[in-house]
Amino acid sequence: MKAKTIFYCTECGNETPKWAGRCSVCGEWNTLVEAPAESKAVRGARNKTLAVQRRSFPKQLKELDSQEEIRFSTGIGELDRVLGGGAVRGSMVLVGGAPGIGKSTLLLQICNLMIGEKILYVTGEESQRQLKMRAQRLGVKGEGLYVLAETDLNSTVQAAEELLPTVLIIDSIQTLYNSELDSAPGSVSQVKDCTMSIMQLAKELGITVFVVGHVNKEGAIAGPKVLEHMVDCVLYFEGERNMAYRILRAAKNRFGSTNEIGVFEMADNGLIEVANPSEMLLAGRPENSPGTCVACVIEGTRPILAEIQALVTPSGFNVARRNSNGIDYNRAMLLLAVLEKRGGMAVSGCDAYINVIGGLQLDEPAADLATVLAIASSFRDRPIGSDVAAIGEVGLTGEIRAVTAINQRLSEISRLGFKRCVLPLRARGDITRPAGLELISVRNIREAICAVLD
């Protein structure tokens, strides 16, 4: 007898008995996946996963205590910054990233730095001996750290209820499974059920939970999209495996901002915090080389300087090649079109390659002017100058528009030794010029190019 199957939407979690090209609830295309159907008896058994069942009663808003949101430090300043000032008691944090990027390393390191916390580390991918060897390599002493090599959900929940840790780490959610369900571990139904059970455990017992989630080939966390809606905080570990630097970014945070980033360097003994990302991103910058310009972007509450490089060369094909890394491809094509139409440079017949050094993703319009200047510098094969930085948004008519936090950006530019800065003529608010920094105010990209290249 053929087993019954059901189709799940990986974006919203909607269930339907038949396949369709488009989800009828969220409207996304090609998101329905097939999974074994669960019997009604099994569905009813989900609520019996937790051994401790507490009945909750409604309260008036004025009776609630706002001090119940208790934060504590993880011991890593960059992680605390991304979380909004530290981890919150009873919260659930999902950490995603590509294989080998450093997710397990980061979570194992905080086990050594959270003094006075009772931690339960549940690993479904390694044995206890393997985890011990990795802890020795990272210098983790293991005081207050308990290790459980388990993939069964019920055993994990039972161990947590008996030990009553203050911090629970699940590595990873794709390896955890509920034996009461017929589907395989890592399937849509398993991931949803295990996440819901762990979240109930965290809220009822006040346990802070860190969950590791693998990513698929598109870069999103594997499993249903509803997984990210369930948790309180979603962190993405970004960076290339062959590069030493890693960027931790918050995609969702109920207890803080989603604009903060944390920068780490992967070393032999684990991840090392980078307190000054600007110096790291500008290290090794070539002196007076064409095709490079420095931009200042705001990530959360701090300014960061990033080097933008461009290479423009005559194309040997009928259609010019375009490639961008670190800047949105469509935004880069828009800036190339503006440069040709408003800047008077025939770049349509040239191959153009744009790259942001250090693996940083720039999605702020304030980096537009530096990108245009880098392209113009490579096209003319003339250096801008190693002491020049640029701030400004470029419009379709070639005008340079004002950006926010201009004084904060200028202070960071001056602190790192730059002597000149190209910025919009009309800035938001009063500008305080730092000592030793020359401000070059421009109206459009033609004036900016003339100011630094002529």
- Give the mean model confidence (pLDDT) for residues 338-348: 93
- Give the mean model confidence (pLDDT) for residues 139-149: 90
Amino acid at 213: G
Confidence at residue 24, expressed as pLDDT on a 0 to 100 scale: 82
Confidence at residue 40, expressed as pLDDT on a 0 to 100 scale: 44
- Which 3 state secondary structure label does DSSP give 431? coil
Q: Which of 65-69, 134-138, 263-267, 385-389 is least confident?
A: 65-69
Q: Residues of the chain with pLDDT > 90: what percent?
A: 49
Contact yes or no for 42/50 (Cβ under 8 A): no
Q: Band of the pLDDT at 365, cuts 50, 70, 90?
A: very high
Structure tokens at 76: 């890593």
Cα distances (Å, whole numbers) of residue 316 to 199, 310, 313, 345: 57, 18, 9, 18
The answer to whether the predicted template modeling score (pTM) of the entire model surpasses 0.95 is: no
Confidence at residue 32, expressed as pLDDT on a 0 to 100 scale: 82
Q: CB-hemisphere CA count at 13 Å for 416?
A: 27
Amino acid at 377: S
- Give the mean model confidence (pLDDT) for residues 108-131: 92
- Give the mean model confidence (pLDDT) for residues 190-200: 89
Q: Residue 416: count other Cβ atoms within 10 Å of its Cβ.
A: 15
* 247-281: burial string, b at 16+ Cβ within 10 Å, e else: bbbbeebebbeeebbbbbebeeebbbebeebbebb
Amino acid at 353: Y
Confidence at residue 109, expressed as pLDDT on a 0 to 100 scale: 93
Question: Which is nearest to 167 in space by CA: 205, 125, 214?
Answer: 205
Confidence at residue 55, expressed as pLDDT on a 0 to 100 scale: 58
Q: Is the pLDDT of residue 352 over 90?
A: yes
Q: CB-hemisphere CA count at 13 Å for 243?
A: 14
Query: pLDDT for 30-39, tens place per residue?
Result: 878 777 665 5
Q: Which of 54-63, 259-268, 402-411 is least confident?
A: 54-63
Of 155-159, 227-231, 296-300, where does the model show the most confidence?
Answer: 155-159
Q: Which of 132-136, 166-170, 257-261 is least confident?
A: 257-261
Confidence at residue 38, expressed as pLDDT on a 0 to 100 scale: 58
Q: Higher pLDDT residue, 64 or 338?
A: 338
Q: Residues of the chain with pLDDT > 70: what percent?
A: 89
Confidence at residue 223, expressed as pLDDT on a 0 to 100 scale: 60
Q: Is the pLDDT of residue 345 over 80?
A: yes
Q: Is the pLDDT of residue 41 over 50?
A: no
Q: Higher pLDDT residue, 331 or 180?
A: 331
Q: How much is the mean pLDDT over the chain?
A: 86
- Give the mean model confidence (pLDDT) for residues 86-103: 90
Q: Is the pLDDT of residue 57 over 90?
A: no
Confidence at residue 3, expressed as pLDDT on a 0 to 100 scale: 60
Strand-pairing partners, residue 110, are: none
Q: Band of the pLDDT at 402, cuts 50, 70, 90?
A: very high
